[in-house]
C-alpha cells in the first residue's frame, strides 16, 4: 500500500561515489517500502539508471527557485539533502516552505569546507530539522565552528550489504599477499605512500588500485621509478560488481587517506572479511578497531609496510572481527531502520 508521505532526496549529481551510492540505495529502499519518493540533482550521472523510481519522480533542478517550486508542486513533506551545494540550496529553498521537515546529511569532515559553506552552515543551519552526521568525527568537525547546531546533530553510519554467512578468508598467505585499495587517485587518498610501502615489502606482495583521478599519471610514474610496476594493477573506475569481485579475491584492504569522514569502502571490505590497514586519523578510528585492522600512527612508508606485514600474519582473526563489526553496526538493514527512525517514518 502506498504511504502518503512524500520525500524528496536532493544531491549534487549522480556520479559514482560513496555518498551517491548511499543516497540511491536509501531512496530505492524507501520507495520499495511504499513511500512516495522523489529524487532531484543538478545533473544526472551513471547512477541515475539504478534508481527504481517512476521516471516522473526523477528531477533536475539547478537553482533555489526551481527547487522551491518542485517542493510546492509535489507537496513534499520531507527534504533530505547531501553534499555541500545541495545542502546549502536545500536550506535556502526550505525558507519558502515553512512546514517542510529538512534533514541535512553531512558526509565529509565539515571543517575542510570552504569558508562560504561554513558561513552558510552557521547562518542557515537552524533551518535543518536534524543534521545527520555519517560519523562522530564528522559531527564533531561541524560542532567546532557551529556549536549552536550540536543539539541538531545525530549519528547515522552508512550501511553496506552484508552476506550473513560469508566464507571467511584463510589464515596465512604462502605464495602471495594481494593488497587492495579502492579510492579516487588524488592527493587526499595518498596512494603514493602505499606504493612506497609496497616497494619495501617482499615480492609476494602485490597491489590493485581501483579508482581514477588527477594523480593517476603521477602514481603510474612513481611505480616505474620504484621498479614495482609489475606488482601494481591500475584498474581505473569500474562498475560496482567488478569492485565486489576484487574484494572477494584480495587479502588485505589498505586505505592510506590523509583525512576521511566516513570511509564506506572500509565497511565494504570488512563485509568480505578483509582486514584493514590505514593511518590513525579521526574519521578512521570509528571503523577500524584493534580487533579488525591496524591503524598506523606514523605517516611513513616503513611504518605502513610493517603494519601490512602484521595484518598479513593475523589476517583471519582481523577479518572475522571486521566482518562481525560491520554486520552488527553498519549493515544496510541496520542503517535503513535508523534512518527511518530519524526521519520519523
> What span, in angstroms and rounded, lies between the C-alpha atoms of 210 and 94?
38
**pLDDT average, residue stretch 289-313:** 97
Q: What is residue 1's predicted lDDT score, i.e. its pLDDT?
A: 47
Grid coordinates given for 189: 587518498
| Domain architecture of the chain: domains with CATH | 3-159+330-343 (3.40.50.2000), 177-329 (3.40.50.2000)
Q: What is residue 221's predicted lDDT score, i.e. its pLDDT?
A: 98
From 86, 273, 23, 17, select the one nearest 169 (Cα to Cα): 273
- The set of residues, in sequence order, having a beta carbon less than 8 Å from that of 58 and lying 6+ positions away, is 38, 39, 40, 44, 48, 51
Of the listed ranges 10-14, 94-98, 236-240, 321-325, the one predicted with least confidence: 236-240
Give how far Cα 254 sits from Cα of 195, 247, 276, 293, 327, Å. Answer: 11, 12, 6, 10, 20
For residue range 27-36, what is the model confidence (pLDDT) as tens digits?
A: 999 999 999 9
For residue range 140-175, what is the model confidence (pLDDT) as tens digits?
A: 999 999 999 999 999 999 999 887 656 555 545 667
> What span, in angstroms and rounded, lies between the C-alpha atoms of 308 and 333?
31
Residue 110 is classified by DSSP as: G
Burial class (CB in 10 A: 0-12, 13-18, 19+), 15: middle
- 78 alpha-carbon distance from chain centroid: 23
Residue 211 is classified by DSSP as: B
Residue 127 is classified by DSSP as: G
Burial class (CB in 10 A: 0-12, 13-18, 19+), 11: buried
For residue range 33-81, what is the model confidence (pLDDT) as tens digits?
A: 999 999 999 988 888 889 999 999 999 999 999 999 999 999 999 999 9
Of the listed ranges 11-20, 115-124, 198-207, the one predicted with least confidence: 11-20
Q: What is the mean pLDDT of the chain?
A: 93
Q: What is residue 34's predicted lDDT score, i.e. its pLDDT?
A: 93
- Percent above pLDDT 70 for the chain: 96
Burial class (CB in 10 A: 0-12, 13-18, 19+), 311: buried
For residue range 3-32, what is the model confidence (pLDDT) as tens digits?
A: 679 999 999 998 867 788 899 999 999 999
Q: What is residue 174's predicted lDDT score, i.e. its pLDDT?
A: 61
Q: What is residue 149's predicted lDDT score, i.e. its pLDDT?
A: 98
Q: What is residue 167's predicted lDDT score, i.e. its pLDDT?
A: 58
Amino acid at each position: 500500500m502506498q504511504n502518503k508521505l512524500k520525500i524528496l532526496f536532493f544531491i549534487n549529481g549522480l556520479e559514482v561515489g560513496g555518498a551517491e551510492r548511499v543516497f540511491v540505495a536509501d531512496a530505492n529502499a524507501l520507495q520499495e517500502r511504499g513511500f512516495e519518493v522523489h529524487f532531484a540533482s543538478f545533473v544526472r550521472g551513471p547512477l541515475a539508471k539504478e534508481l527504481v523510481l517512476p521516471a516522473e519522480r526523477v528531477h533536475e533542478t539547478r537553482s533555489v527557485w526551481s527547487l522551491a517550486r518542485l517542493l510546492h508542486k509535489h507537496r513534499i513533506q520531507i527534504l533530505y539533502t547531501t553534499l555541500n551545494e545541495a545542502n546549502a540550496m536545500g536550506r535556502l529553498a526550505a525558507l519558502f516552505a515553512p512546514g517542510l521537515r529538512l534533514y541535512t546529511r553531512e558526509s565529509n569532515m565539515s571543517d575542510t569546507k570552504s569558508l562560504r559553506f561554513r558561513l552558510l552552515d552557521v547562518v542557515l543551519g537552524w533551518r535543518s530539522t536534524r543534521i545527520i552526521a555519517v560519523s562522530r568525527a564528522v559531527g564533531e568537525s561541524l560542532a567546532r565552528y557551529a556549536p549552536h547546531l550540536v543539539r541538531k546533530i545525530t549519528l547515522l553510519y552508512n550501511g553496506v550489504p552484508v552476506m550473513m554467512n560469508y566464507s571467511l578468508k584463510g589464515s596465512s598467505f604462502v605464495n602471495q599477499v594481494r593488497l587492495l585499495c579502492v579510492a579516487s587517485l588524488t592527493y587526499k587518498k595518498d596512494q603514493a605512500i602505499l606504493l612506497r610501502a609496497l616497494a619495501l615489502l617482499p615480492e609476494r606482495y602485490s597491489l590493485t588500485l581501483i579508482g581514477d583521478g588527477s594523480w593517476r599519471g603521477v602514481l603510474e610514474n612513481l611505480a616505474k621509478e620504484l621498479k614495482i610496476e609489475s606488482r601494481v594493477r591500475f584498474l581505473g573506475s569500474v562498475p560496482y560488481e567488478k569492485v565486489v569481485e576484487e574484494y572477494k579475491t584480495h587479502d588485505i584492504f589498505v586505505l592510506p587517506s590523509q583525512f576521511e569522514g566516513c570511509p564506506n569502502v572500509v565497511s565494504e571490505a570488512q563485509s568480505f572479511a578483509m582486514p584493514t590497514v590505514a593511518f590513525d586519523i579521526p574519521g578512521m578510528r570509528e571503523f577500524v578497531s584493534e580487533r579488525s585492522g591496524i591503524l598506523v600512527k606514523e605517516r611513513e612508508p616503513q611504518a605502513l609496510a610493517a603494519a601490512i606485514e602484521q595484518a598479513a600474519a593475523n589476517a583471519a582473526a582481523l577479518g572475522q572481527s571486521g566482518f562481525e563489526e560491520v554486520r552488527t553496526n553498519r549493515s544496510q538493514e541496520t542503517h535503513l531502520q535508523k534512518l527511518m527512525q530519524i526521519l520519523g517514518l
